[in-house]
Structure 1
Amino acid sequence: MKHNLVYNLGAAFITFFLSAFITFWMTPYIISNLGSEAYGFIPLTQNLISILSVLTVALSSVIARFFTVAITQESYYKAEGYFNTYLITSLVGSVFIFSLIVVAIIYIDKLINVPLNLLNDVRLALLFSGTLVIITFIKSLFLAGPFSQNKLYITKGIEASNAILKALFIIVLLTILTPKIWYVNLGAMIAGLISLFISIYIFKKVIPKISLNTKSFSFKKLKELLSAGAWNSIGQIGVLLFLAIELLVANNVLGATKAGIYAAIIQLPLLLRTIASIIAGVFAPVIIKNYANNNMNGLIIYSNKAVKLNGLLIALPAALMCGMAGAILDVWLGPEFIEYKWLLILNSAYLIFTLSVLPLTHIYTAVNRLRVPGIVTLFLGFLNLILAVYLAGYTVLGLYGIVLAGSIALILKNFLFIPLYSSYITKQQFSIYYKGVLQPIIGALFAVGLCIFLQMYIDITGWGALISTGIIVTLGYLIFSYVLLLNREEKQILINLIRSIVK
């Protein structure tokens, strides 16, 4: 199990660095070729299409849980029923989803502000992003295979290969051909299709006992999956109101130009949110297996360690974005973006403690208590929308109003609700899941202070100085965390894990 955790985390970090490379390279390249206004439509179209995930998440978010429980209990007949029920349903559902994509393509200029010269490009971007949603919907089934074996390093390996292929396709399209915004969506779609085929191949290798059999389709199992995942769909609406609404509000309230600037600025915080979810997912199989084996004490202990480790991993990049915001924007996007450094700082600061607790969300799935989280997420998502529209459109805050709205809503959802509800459904003291939150905050404060101190002596005017400063801060943070933030048991576990890797 320890080896799997190392492999899983290692693969997650590889995926993170590849995604970071794509973001760092792609954003300034497209802005320099197409302008910040055109660039803004890349994440905006992706956010619009992500609304369709509400239709897929009811199945895709719970299939791994039911499949894993069945495999853990060695009920392969039951697992095969879940497999074929999901597969047939996802194929039929994809036809309906594609019809909605076509409608969105036709009426896109009625939904958002699109300059006439970019209208066809935006429509193509919607087509390719929509197709990717369908591919991802189907692929979720096959990723449940390595998940059920706690071999998430295989899943992360697929994601890493997808990131590499995505980067290669985008680079080729943008450098060889005349740059278009939909090249990014096309590259992502092609890479996603290839990763689907890889996922199918690996599933057959990992779970050879499960095969395609239309007779295994069961309306009873479909109802079981939908009943469990329906609240995830409700919650997904709330998630979209957190993540997808920012650019829509910026576009409709402040205009396409401001939305383009904001889209560029928030790429790094959004990337951090994504990697936080990826890392948190590494801990999901053990949490679910502990519950499947009725090991509630093990679930609680492991979840607490997951919160602390997840927080320590997330705190460093968040602190770097806070401590070196001006330098990052100057080197990355150009000096004209330095004036927006507080947008990056404010978008990153509250993530230090709101993303730490994400592993706890898998307790909901393990215990199958998804209704309340879904309702709360939906409510706070609407709160985020209302606050964002009001603060951005009816006060002088502008883009900062969108940031403030998001921070208030996410603090309420993540930092308050997630730990408290997790303790409630596991019948523990309300403070029990806050034990691992303090250390990441302390580590982040140290890293921010070190960033500020180093910039007094280092003039960061290029990539070399930026990277070297980041490396120094990272080394300092690692030493500080090991000496002061890890207890004796955790230090020994870390040493043993490193020894196992070396051997």
Structure 2
Amino acid sequence: MSTKGVSYEMSLNLATNFLALILNIVLGLVVVPFYISRIGVDGYGVIALATSFSSYLSIITIAIDAAVGRNFTLAIRGNDENTANAIYSSSVIAASLLILALTPLLAWFLWDIDKMVSYTGQSTGAMRWVFAAIISSYVLTFLRGLFLVPAFAANKIYIQRIIAIMEIVVRTVLVFVLLNISGDLGWIGIAFLAASVVTFTAALYWIKRQFPFLRLKAASFNKEIVGYMASMSLWLVLNQIGTLLFINIDIILLNHYYGPTMTGEFSTVAQWHTLLRSFAGVFVAIFTPVVYKFYADKDFSNLLKFSKYSVVVMGLVLAIPIGIVVAYSDVILKLWVGSHFVKFYPLMILLTGHLIFNLAVLPILSINSVYNKVKIPGLTSFVCGVFNLVIGIAVIKLFDWGIYSVAIVSAVLLTLKNLVFTPTYAAKTLGQPAWLYYPSIMRGTALFIWVLILSWGARHLVVPGSWFSLFMWAIVIGICSIPFAWFVTLQQEHRSLVLKLIRKYI
């Protein structure tokens, strides 16, 4: 593939990722208040809980996608169509069998849902349907991801994003239409499931058109391939369990110990944590295929440079939005969901402030996967996640911290893990000194602190009273941060690269 082609595809990848991000942000800002107005805080807590439970199914799907993506990419870049076909068929068939094996467990959960979930104002039948529909939606999304692995291998991430955008739009339109007909919680389940069916069909159509040599055949099923990918997936599963015990356990514990109202309040505030993670995901989705490409081409020198560069870029692009959200958390909550939620601004700071560290290291996680060094990270993530669960329960029982209980524990433990283990292990995998990534991490942190200082000064001049005013102040703070970002965050080689890109496109 030509350099021009690679540049074109990366531009499309970035553009569609940003479009998906903007839609997530805009629709997230609009849909959450709409949910609350139509089904109440308790009802929104149920939806957040259902998606949280469903995300635990993703511990398997993400792990399988990562293992399949790595091996399929190596096969495609080696022009080995037979192996690619074997990986493709084996992964889809094995995943389908796994889903069938898990079906009795999911059926048992749905049957006894009234014993496992705290809820008010909803019938047990409605709860079963909502959870069943949203879980089914996640299963279809998982299978869609496997069918779209060739898009990842060909660095056509924009195809995945276009289909994801389609899902967001279809689901949101259906939610607004159906909930305006009736405030029944069950309509939301229909919206989730219908959107997944539409996009699953679209994915199958694209694969058939773009990769005609791929055929899903039982005869291509290879136990050895499944065994190899399963051994890699096992440790990735443990890694994902640990990650979800950090990110999603809060809602489940709050629902169990404090009930649906506090769950809904927490979920509302946590939406900004989710949006910032989505923002970071835009760049991770761009960086990961490049890391795989350098590895497949055995270009280890550029892989090392690119991994350091990606951490700097993450810090650069995250510092301003995270700083604005932290500095204006009370203003955002008041403008977004009303004065009732302003009292939760410390929770918003707690949920988002630590992300400047924990999201900056995301690009280097792909190093563990591409080198197949996933056992130690998997075990570490799992153990830390279990600690988070155990300590979270202990804090709830021993201290009267209410809605802040598990958020405090998660923020502390996740930051320790990603500041101590994650960068040092990746550096070790690359055969580099343990402190390799710390200068890159600190550059982004310095810019974050600078944004907080600017925001503190701006708030002493005026506190925004509208979205427009807040947006304008965010632009002013962003512009005033550019000199700091240019001379402090970026190194000379980074500035040279930026100038080269500017000259190229002007």
Select which of 49, 62, 86 maps to 1:81. 86
Cα 1:166–1:264 shift into 2, 3 Å? same
User: Contact 2:14/2:282 (CA < 8 Å) preserved in 1?
Assistant: no
Residue 167 (1) aligns with residue 169 (2): no
57-66 vs 454-463, greater mean Cα deviation = 454-463
1:361 CA displacement:
0.7
Distance, in Å, in 2 between the alignment partners of 1:316 and 1:206 is 39
Which of 347, 362, 370 is the matching residue for 2:374? 370
Cα shift readout 1:253-279 (whole Å, capped 9, x = no counterpart): 222221211111111112222332342
Residue in 1 that maps onto 2:32? 27
Contact 2:65–2:149 at 8 Å: present in 1 too? Answer: no
Q: Residues of 1 paired with 2:451 and 2:148: CA distance?
A: 36
Greater Cα offset, 269-278 or 251-260 = 269-278
Residue 230 (1) aligns with residue 234 (2):
yes
1:496 offset after TM fit, Å?
A: 4.1
- Within-5 A mapping of 1:131-280: 131-175=136-180, 177-280=181-284
Task: Tell me the SS of whatever aligns to 1:115.
Answer: coil
User: Among residues 73, 94, 110, which one is paired with 1:105 in the alignment?
Assistant: 110
Q: Which residue of 2 aligns with 1:66?
A: 71
Question: Structure 1: which 5+ runs fail to align?
Answer: none
1:393-418 residue CA offsets vs partner (Å, 9 max, x unmatched): 32022222211111122112222211
Could you tell me whether the CA contact under 8 Å between 1:326 and 1:341 is conserved in 2? yes
Distance 1:40 1:350 in 2: 24
Q: Which amino acid aligns with 1:409?
A: L
For residues 486 and 181 of structure 1, the distance between their equivalents in structure 2, rounded to whole angstroms, comes to: 49
Sort the Cα spacing of 1:481 and 1:185 in 2 relative to 1 into closer, same or farther, 3 A.
farther
C-alpha distance in structure 1 between counterparts of 2:188 and 2:293, whole Å: 38
Tell me the SS of whatever aligns to 2:461: coil
Q: Which residue of 2 aligns with 1:324?
A: 328
Partners of 1:250 and 1:104 lie apart in 2 by 19
Equivalent residue for 1:341?
A: 345
Provide the identity percentage.
25
User: 1:83/1:347 Cα in 2 relative to 1: closer, same or farther (>3 Å)?
Assistant: same
Counterpart-to-counterpart distance in 2, 1:489 and 1:201: 43
Corresponding residue for residue 114 of structure 1: 119
CA–CA distance in structure 2, aligned partners of residues 182 and 271 of structure 1 = 25
Mapped to 2, the partners of 1:501 and 1:159 lie a distance apart of: 29
Q: Deviations over 1:427-465 (max 9, x none)?
A: 110011223212211221222222232233334222222
Q: CA-atom RMSD, angstroms?
A: 2.0
Distance 1:166 1:116, change over 3 A: closer
Question: Which piece of structure 1 moves more, 269-278 or 488-497?
Answer: 488-497
1:356 paired residue number: 360
Q: CA deviation at 1:153?
A: 2.3
Partner of residue 410 from structure 2, selected from 406, 409, 413: 406
Native 8 Å contact 2:38 2:179 kept in 1: no
Aligned: 1:36 with 2:41: yes
| TM-score relative to the length of structure 2 | 0.94
In 2, Cα distance between equivalents of 1:490 and 1:164? 37
Counterpart-to-counterpart distance in 2, 1:43 and 1:419: 32
Q: Are 2:469 and 1:456 aligned?
A: no
Aligned length: 501
**Bigger mean CA deviation after superposition, 108-117 or 356-365:** 108-117
1:491 Cα deviation from its structure 2 partner: 3.0
State whether residues 97 and 134 of structure 1, in contact with CA within 8 Å, keep that contact through their aligned partners in structure 2.
no
Q: Distance in 2 between matches of 1:446 and 1:183?
A: 45
Instruction: Please state whether the residue corresponding to 2:172 is helix, strand or coil.
Output: helix
Per the normalisation by structure 1, the TM-score is 0.94
Q: Deviations over 1:272-323 (max 9, x none)?
A: 2233234213211111122222222221111111111122222222111101
> Structure 1 330/386 Cα, relative in aligned 2: closer, same or farther at 3 Å?
same
